Chain A
Amino acid sequence: MTDELRVRLAGMIADASGGVISSDEVLAGRHTLSALGLTSLARISLIDTIEDVFGLEFDLSGDLSSFEDVDTLVAALK
């Protein structure tokens, strides 16, 4: 289940980046999403998508580190 979610989120991240970041780069987990080039606009797009798909709402006023890596994002969604 976790692997499936990782792959799904990696696809969403790649889509949100508009092709700048590949799913493989995300899944490799060697760099933060910022270091891979995820812009603020792409991050908002990703948040929109996750909220729409999973039917939840993120609190953006606190720590945003869960948006830096697919595994922390998986953990945040569990």
Chain B
Amino acid sequence: MKIEFSGATEGEAPLTWGQRLMWRAVHLMGASQNYLNCPFVFPVYGRKDLSVVLDALRVLIERHEALRTTFSDAGQRVFRDGVLEVELVEAGTDRGLRVADRVAAEMAHIVFDHGAEWPLRCAIVLKDGRPFALACVFTHLAVDYQALALLAEEWKALLKGAALPPVAWQPRDQAGLEASDAWQARSARSIAYWRDVLADVPLDVFDHPPGEPEDPRFIEVIMDSPALAVAATRLSNRLTVSSTSVILAACAEVLAEVSARSRVVMQLVHSNRRDARTRGMVGTVGQDALIVLDRPEHDFAEFCRTTHRAALQAYRNAHYDPAAMTVMREKAGGHDLDAFFNDRRAAPGWPALPPDTDLSVATTRTYTKNAWPGVRFKVFFTVGADAGTGLLSLIADTAYLPRDTAESMLRSVETRLVGAV
């Protein structure tokens, strides 16, 4: 099946700061860059004909330049017209959404050819011949998780036959804004903040030398802990700081313990959609913030407040030209900064958490989900987007953190949070 699209615009522009961050990441990760692919499933609501579903997808592509863009060192190139191949997959006796998740995940295994391929791959999952879901994978150069949430809302509206307002802000507009004097000044201020922080922190995340890694070397361990969600919510309410800051504080303490250091330096993945114009933009806006925390002796509540203040300062300094930042970081000594924290929740809290969930850790489980040969993170904590349970994952470089240590770090985060309530 093919979709022929014809948008209203075309043209070229430099990469945005968000795109530059991803461009660097896909090159650093090489064959493991499929880690950065974004699989996503759009359910088909109600009984819709295939033509309606294909039409909705066509409109999304025509509306959003990011979905008809190719990327190169030279910048972003937006095409007005094109053809996208869409595979049809019959679910058979399997559950439709499960098949859609599987198809999206399979498509996500394959690395994008960013300069020659559309930034999304799509398949429509059919159940008894009727469209059940649209399974997609996007390159992270085109979308972030906020963009996917925007697309999901538009998808729902388009299937209902609603007319959408024109898109007011596209990545090429963002690239123009970032070249302005005001935004260049903002970039310079952020880089100065990073320079000050880096002047007083170790070059490496860990002092100990690498050991014998697993094969593949990088693993993702996940903890499913309803108790973590309850504890973080209660602490957040009591301390009047975000649940993100509470979990970040616990992760930082655990990292400090494992690295046997009192000072912890982490990069925070930050959505960065603080400019109102970017809130409705389909694109990748996120950049990394830099936080430095000194572990207190006893008081976890006070550490949560300190973390919250430090995170605010870090987020504020997450608007910068990644190329200029790279130059500064190399001059500063080439710190690895390979410890990360990301909160993928679209909104604060866990609104779908069952109301009778308590602080019991009896149902907590940990499991390994993914492994890659070269994602290059030493420590990467991620709060999952599931609104019905507390999901915390840890990507670990097994040369520095053996699997058992990674699992016990997640459990230690839970223990700290539950114990502090």
Contacts and interface: CB of A to CB of B under 8 A. Distances in A.
A37 B276 CA distance: 17
A34 B312 CA distance: 13
A60 B274 contact: no
Contacts of B244: 40
Main secondary structure of the interface of A (DSSP, over half): helix
Given A40-B311, A60-B316, A64-B312, A48 B348 contact: no
A64 to B, nearest CB: 6
Contacts, number: 42
A34 B240 contact: yes
A45 B240 contact: no
A8 B273 CA distance: 22
A45 B275 contact: yes
Contacts of A45: 274-276
Contacts of B316: 44, 47, 60
A29 interface: no
Interface string B273-297: 1111001000000000000000000
Interface string B222-240: 0000000000000000001
Nearest to B313: A60
Contacts of A34: 240-241
A39 B348 CA distance: 8
B133 to A, nearest CB: 29
A32 B182 contact: no
A40 B312 contact: yes
A53 interface: no
Nearest to A48: B274
A40 B315 contact: yes
A18 B277 CA distance: 11
Interface string A57-78: 0001100100000000000000
B312 A60 contact: yes
Contacts of B273: 41
Interface string B296-330: 00000000000011011101100000000000000
Contacts of B309: 60-61, 64
Nearest to A34: B240
Counting contact residues on chain A (CB < 8 A from B), the size range is: 10 to 19
B242 interface: yes
B315 A41 contact: yes
B240 A35 contact: yes
Nearest to A47: B316
A19 B313 CA distance: 24
A25 to B, nearest CB: 17
B382 interface: no
Contacts of A48: 274-275
Nearest to A43: B312
Contacts of A18: 276, 279
A52 B182 contact: yes
A64 B305 CA distance: 11
Nearest to B318: A44
A15 B274 contact: no
A39 B242 contact: yes
A32 B240 contact: yes
Interface centre among B241, B271, B308, B312 (most CB of A within 10 A): B312
A75 B315 CA distance: 25
Contact of A61 (B271, B275, B313): B313
Contact of A44 (B245, B274, B276, B348): B274
Nearest to A42: B274
A40 B242 contact: yes
10 contacts: A18-B279, A34-B240, A40-B244, A40-B245, A40-B315, A44-B274, A44-B315, A45-B274, A61-B313, A64-B312
Q: Give 8 closest A-B pairs by Cβ, nearest first.
A: A45-B274, A60-B313, A44-B274, A34-B240, A44-B315, A44-B316, A41-B274, A40-B242
Given A41-B273, A41-B274, A41-B315, 20 more contacts: A15-B276, A32-B240, A34-B240, A40-B244, A40-B308, A40-B311, A40-B312, A40-B315, A41-B271, A43-B312, A44-B274, A44-B316, A45-B274, A48-B274, A52-B182, A60-B313, A60-B316, A61-B313, A64-B309, A64-B312
